[in-house]
Amino acid sequence: MKFLRKDRYSPNHVMIIVTVCVCCASLFCAKSLWIPATRIPNLHMRAVVLSITEAVSAFSSSIGCDTLVPRIRSGFLSITGLDSHSSWDSRYFNKRETHHVQKTTLAVMESPIATPLKNSGTLFAETVQLPVEKTKEPVITSVYSRTSPLPVYFFGDSQVFSLASGLSRLVGKGSSIDVEFLAIHSSGFIRDDFYDWPQKLEDTLSEKQYAAVVIMLGMNDYQNFWTQDRRVLKKRTNEWETVYKEKCRNLVDSALSRVTRVYWVQMPLVKNASYNENLKYIEEIHDDVAQEYSPDVLARISLQDTIPGSELPYTDTIETAPGKVLKVMTEDGSHYTVEGGQLVMKRLFNRLVADFPFSEVPVAILPE
């Protein structure tokens, strides 16, 4: 059999070319190989693949070809201005610290779950300590107005887009409530290796003063994850709940160190029955953590009491007037439409109006 035919390549030739291309790509992208590996659902398979990526990364680093692609990417983002965009900000996405765990550190740990790994989705411990900046005092004003609006920071997973957009519509343009938000798809209280919310929140609140913070996280948190000593914490176990609660507390505490009030949005009622049961479990843990705080500084905001209504079954439409139906849930049965977000955020709007002083009481603008 000839190696090369006139009209086409032989199967062996194709396989060789593909293999060479994959090997070259792996070497040039060695620093990023761990990212797709951490997306593998099976934690044991993930550990095997991560070990392989470690070996490839070490070899690539030894021959000096693992920095080419990162440099090209950084240069492109810098030239185009995308490096300052939240969706491309590499300071918080896909963070991974060194995998060399100090034996002395592990020796003095009181327990494997007493000090959970910050980057909980990976197998690696953090060894770099960032300088601690002095906490700024929460923003204080006598009365909020259109010229001096109440600054609110709304952050969380993909659900935040519809909720925060709905809240922005609810307050209207030129309102005495100013809503800024950041929605990161697939993020949560866990998996800081995917998106580092603790660091992002700390940086955001240190750069600008806000009076209130709104948190919407948890819809992606029903999953197992690794501890610092490479043990798998399985969901619905006491150990998992202990570590998860601590992650929730850390984020809430970080917010409360900068603002006067935090509003923690509860889970929605979703269409998929199995997913809904998972969210109920997450909701119960959130409730337990919230009870540790005074209601004067931390308030839970219900979504289900508005859509579909207390104790009512799932629905993706509601009747706003006789013969007028409004679509409030998207096709996936998990996310609100912007109009749906506008309706469910009325409870948060009411709390903001009640909790802060305004020269003129804001009026909610509901969907027509």
| Confidence tier at 26 by pLDDT (50, 70, 90) | low
- 6 in a structural domain: no
pTM of this prediction? 0.73
- 136 in a structural domain: no
Q: Residue 123 in contact with residue 99, Cβ under 8 Å?
A: yes
Regarding whether 70 and 170 lie in a shared domain, the answer is no
Regarding whether 237 and 317 lie in a shared domain, the answer is yes
Determine the pLDDT at residue 120. 38
| Confidence tier at 102 by pLDDT (50, 70, 90) | very low
Determine the pLDDT at residue 232. 83
CA 29, distance to chain mean position in Å, is: 25
The residue out of 61, 83, 105 marking a domain boundary is 83
- 94 in a structural domain: no
Paired tokens of 112 = 């494997």
Regarding whether 160 and 30 lie in a shared domain, the answer is no
| Confidence tier at 82 by pLDDT (50, 70, 90) | low
- Domain carrying residue 17: 11-83
Regarding whether 336 and 189 lie in a shared domain, the answer is yes
- 35 in a structural domain: yes
Q: Residue 213 in contact with residue 255, Cβ under 8 Å?
A: yes
Q: What DSSP designation does 84 have?
A: G
Highest mean pLDDT among 84-98, 134-148, 190-204, 258-272: 258-272
- 124 in a structural domain: no
Regarding whether 207 and 74 lie in a shared domain, the answer is no
CATH number of the domain within which 225 lies: 3.40.50.1110
78/165: higher pLDDT: 165
Regarding whether 282 and 161 lie in a shared domain, the answer is yes
Determine the pLDDT at residue 244. 96
Q: Residue 159 in contact with residue 185, Cβ under 8 Å?
A: no
pLDDT tens column, 187-203 = 999 988 788 999 999 99
- 119 in a structural domain: no
Q: How far apart are CA 97 and CA 74, in angstroms?
A: 19
pLDDT tens column, 303-351 = 999 999 999 999 999 998 888 999 999 999 999 999 999 999 999 999 9
The mean pLDDT value for 102-107 works out to 32
pLDDT tens column, 154-200 = 999 999 999 999 999 999 999 999 999 999 998 999 988 788 999 99
220/59: higher pLDDT: 220
Q: What is the mean pLDDT of the chain?
A: 80
Q: Residue 312 in contact with residue 345, Cβ under 8 Å?
A: no
Regarding whether 76 and 170 lie in a shared domain, the answer is no
pLDDT at 139 over 70: no
Determine the pLDDT at residue 170. 97
Q: How far apart are CA 258 and CA 53, in angstroms?
A: 40
68/292: higher pLDDT: 292
Regarding whether 276 and 193 lie in a shared domain, the answer is yes
Q: How far apart are CA 161 and CA 153, in angstroms?
A: 13
Residue 13: phi and psi, rounded to 5, are -65, -45
Determine the pLDDT at residue 40. 63
Regarding whether 218 and 310 lie in a shared domain, the answer is yes
Regarding whether 175 and 65 lie in a shared domain, the answer is no
The residue out of 57, 83, 109 marking a domain boundary is 83
User: Between vectors from CA 344 to CA 354 and to CA 337, what angle results, nearest 5°?
Assistant: 145
Residue 84: phi and psi, rounded to 5, are -95, 0
Highest mean pLDDT among 11-15, 53-57, 361-365: 361-365
Query: What is the number of structural domains in the chain?
Result: 2
- 210 in a structural domain: yes
Regarding whether 294 and 213 lie in a shared domain, the answer is yes
Q: What DSSP designation does 203 have?
A: H
Regarding whether 337 and 191 lie in a shared domain, the answer is yes
- 118 in a structural domain: no
The residue out of 41, 59, 83 marking a domain boundary is 83
